[in-house]
Structure 1
Amino acid sequence: MQHVGKLICSNLGARMDSEPKRWRILADLLYDLGSGLEVLSPLCPSLFLEVAGLGNFAKLVVGPLLSVVHVYSVVEEMKAAPVNTLNPQRTALVVAKFIKEGKVSSPADIRYHEDLMFPGRLIKDAGSVKVGQALHRVIKPSKLSEYKEMFPSEKFVICRGNNCTNMVLEHDATGEDALRGWMVAAYAAAAAPSLESSPDGFSSSALLDAYEKVDSVFEKFVSELQAKGWHTDRFLDGTGTRFAL
């Protein structure tokens, strides 16, 4: 039981580290919901006093309006706060900007582009990458052997699915490994835009071409990210599954 408890706490902590803004907004929503229930509670026991009922009725009028203003203010506050650690959504936004425009975004540049409540959206310009699936669900053993023979030093595996590009990281992969995998996936997806045409994965030639492009720009890309204030030594993927070979 103690081991299970530690595992649950670890998973919750990983989720909160990955999306702290989302959890702050959720906490405020729950707080305001509790306040609203408090306001409603005097109306339940048969309106024991008319004056008290009228007074609390006035709070029902004003309370929801103030709660809406409060939640809106919290959302805007969270949007305005830049976070300089890499998670799946921020990594995708950074890669998409670089692939599309050749520009390196700072944490402040992308803060208003984050989806705080539904951060799992796929970003097409970044290769529609989805991270954290179990390895056996992403790639067949024969394809995995072929992939590791081609790229033995990489700490990620990417494989095209039906509607996304799946990426699985090794257990000790860093933010730079995640960035590199995302860029390879983005370049490979751009070379073969129709996901439905190759459900069994990227072709070897598409991957090799993508790796050549990444190798030519990656060192400069990471240096500029670090200069902009990003911490590239860690990648916060929440409770995503990683693998070890």
Structure 2
Amino acid sequence: MEGDSGVVLATERYGCAETWRYFAKDGVMERRRVGSEAKSIGNSFVGVFKSIFLPQGYPESVSGDYLQYQLWDTAQAFASSLSGTLATQASLKGVGVGNQEATVAAATITWLLRDGTSMLGRILFAWLKGNKLDSEAKKWRLFADVLNDIAMFMEILAPFFPAWFTIIVCTSGVFKSVVGVAGGATRAALTVHQARRDNMADISAKDGSQETLVNLAGLVVSLILIPLVTDNPVLTLSLFFVFTALHLFANYRAVRSVVMETLNEARLAIVLQHFLQDGCILSPAEANREEPVFLEFRKTVPIKLGVRLQEVVQRPEELSLTLKKNNNKPFLLVVTNGYVCVCLGAQASTQDEIRAMCQAIWISNELTACIELPEKHPDLVHESHKLMDTVFSQFLQGVEAAGWDVKRTLLDWDEWRVELKTKSS
């Protein structure tokens, strides 16, 4: 191929950002960018900005929802930074900054008590809910931000209740410790979702750079706000409520923008319900739009996955009957003590896990619709097997064709596995 510039030897590109061509002319190899020179100069600043604050290879190296999520996440971080400034000022005032009668020892003890309760809260929450943060990352991400706003509101009000100041700031510290665990862990789960080239570290590092830039902007605005709100509690509370409203709205839009292709209990339940009702398979984008992002407290029949065998059967004849009801599948489904329990076989595959969860969801929905829950309901277990024997193969093929990742799941399985000894084995 020849032109006025010479013979084209090669063409190379940097992701979708730049394209260059190599020419051979008069025995010399030249490299020129495809596109006008004005465009190249105009994009130089944008290119530097992207290289500093966006992962290498953006946008191909991240998920399609990355930019929208990061924009809303940036907005909420900015609002949270300003709210945090107001809360910090109130805390300092509460421990005696500016009060000649306050002692260093009293302020230090208050601070140490707050830090101590925060550490205990962090350990306790990680123990109780750590295994839920992967499977329900959206819910706990939003919960953490709501709890963070509550904690800061308590810090702002604390100076008005001097007799209860220490208790209030310690409670606030516990809330913030929960925020730290839930926020950090769910951010890691979202990073796993966003990374498309095993570039989790790069995405995490650039997220830190974005947050630092936002905090710097918040610092500049805070320097303007502090003289205005000092000794003005009405203005302090008014600005706090404005920033909190922006913070919560941006957080809601951020988690709503996330489109995860892996199945957790909520997304699988939504997809399964639509399939059983009208035979259609929802895409990840459609199911994520319907997925609840607030922690729910409505009465349902809970599902326990990966339980010990002892939790579902106690006698040999009971085990034999349970195996018969479950058609010798690599899992056992039992309704007992108000729970739908799934005991998973040691050789069960990911497809077996998805099928077991589908049956458990169907049974739970059927029982939730009942007014009274019997202690055991083997008929529903048998009916769920008949239903899935008919539709599961078609359902699984449709789910995979719709773009869902069926090689791994975010179902909340415990670690118990059992070797089921059938008569044939």
The answer, yes or no, to whether TM exceeds 0.5 is yes
Q: Separation in 2 of the partners of 1:66 and 1:25?
A: 16
- Structure 1 match to 2:377: 201
Q: Separation in 2 of the partners of 1:92 and 1:230?
A: 14
Q: Separation in 2 of the partners of 1:218 and 1:144?
A: 25
Q: Separation in 2 of the partners of 1:50 and 1:73?
A: 25
1:122/1:130 contact within 8 Å kept = no
The equivalences for 1:16-95 within 5 A come to 16-37=133-154, 39-40=156-157, 52-54=230-232, 56-95=233-272
Matched-pair identity in %: 23
Q: Separation in 2 of the partners of 1:63 and 1:88?
A: 36
Q: Separation in 1 of the partners of 2:374 and 2:154?
A: 53
Q: Tell me whether 12-21 or 144-153 shows the greater mean CA deviation.
A: 144-153
Q: Which one of 168, 182, 185 corresponds to residue 343 of structure 2? A: 168
- Structure 1 match to 2:304: 131
Task: Output the amino acid matched with 1:178.
Answer: E
Q: Which one of 308, 316, 319 corresponds to residue 144 of structure 1? A: 319
Q: Secondary structure at the match of 1:235?
A: coil
Q: Separation in 2 of the partners of 1:241 and 1:110?
A: 28
Q: Secondary structure at the match of 2:133?
A: helix
1:98-137 per-residue CA deviation (whole Å, 9 max, x = no partner) reads: 12222212221122332323258677xxxx5613355433
Q: Kindly tell me: are residues 181 and 165 of structure 1, through their superposed partners in 2, closer, same or farther at Cα, counting changes over 3 Å?
A: same
Q: Tell me whether 182-191 or 214-223 shows the greater mean CA deviation.
A: 182-191
- Corresponding position: 1:230 with 2:347: no
RMSD: 3.9
Q: Which one of 403, 417, 422 corresponds to residue 243 of structure 1? A: 417
Q: Separation in 1 of the partners of 2:324 and 2:330?
A: 13
TM-score, normalised relative to structure 1: 0.70
TM-score, normalised relative to structure 2: 0.44
Q: Secondary structure at the match of 2:406?
A: strand
Q: Separation in 2 of the partners of 1:170 and 1:160?
A: 17
- Corresponding position: 1:107 with 2:284: yes
1:118-176 per-residue CA deviation (whole Å, 9 max, x = no partner) reads: 258677xxxx5613355433344433332335656523221234655333334664542
Q: Secondary structure at the match of 2:376?
A: coil
- Structure 1 match to 2:39: none
Q: Report deviation, 1:81.
A: 1.5
Q: Separation in 2 of the partners of 1:157 and 1:137?
A: 11
Q: Separation in 2 of the partners of 1:50 and 1:91?
A: 51
Q: Separation in 1 of the partners of 2:347 and 2:264?
A: 15
Q: Which has the larger radius of gyration?
A: 2
Q: Report deviation, 1:225.
A: 0.6
1:188/1:209 contact within 8 Å kept = no
Q: Separation in 1 of the partners of 2:340 and 2:404?
A: 24
Q: Separation in 2 of the partners of 1:36 and 1:175?
A: 45
Q: Report deviation, 1:21.
A: 0.9
- Structure 1 match to 2:195: none
Q: Separation in 2 of the partners of 1:188 and 1:28?
A: 30
Q: Report deviation, 1:219.
A: 2.0
Q: Separation in 2 of the partners of 1:13 and 1:198?
A: 32
Q: How many pairs are equivalent?
A: 227
Q: Report deviation, 1:82.
A: 1.7
- Structure 2 match to 1:3: none
Q: Secondary structure at the match of 1:177?
A: helix
Q: Secondary structure at the match of 1:234?
A: coil
Q: Kindly tell me: are residues 239 and 148 of structure 1, through their superposed partners in 2, closer, same or farther at Cα, counting changes over 3 Å?
A: closer
Q: Kindly tell me: are residues 152 and 33 of structure 1, through their superposed partners in 2, closer, same or farther at Cα, counting changes over 3 Å?
A: same
Q: Which one of 213, 216, 221 corresponds to residue 390 of structure 2? A: 216
Task: Output the amino acid matched with 1:200.
Answer: K
Q: Report deviation, 1:28.
A: 1.9
Q: Separation in 1 of the partners of 2:342 and 2:299?
A: 13
1:184-206 per-residue CA deviation (whole Å, 9 max, x = no partner) reads: 45379869x75858532313xx6
1:55-94 per-residue CA deviation (whole Å, 9 max, x = no partner) reads: x531211212320231133123212322221222222222
1:163/1:195 contact within 8 Å kept = no
Structure 2: gaps (5+ residues): 1-124, 163-226, 420-425
1:208-238 per-residue CA deviation (whole Å, 9 max, x = no partner) reads: 5543432232222111111222122223334
The equivalences for 1:174-193 within 5 A come to 174-185=349-360, 186=362
Task: Output the amino acid matched with 2:255.
Answer: M
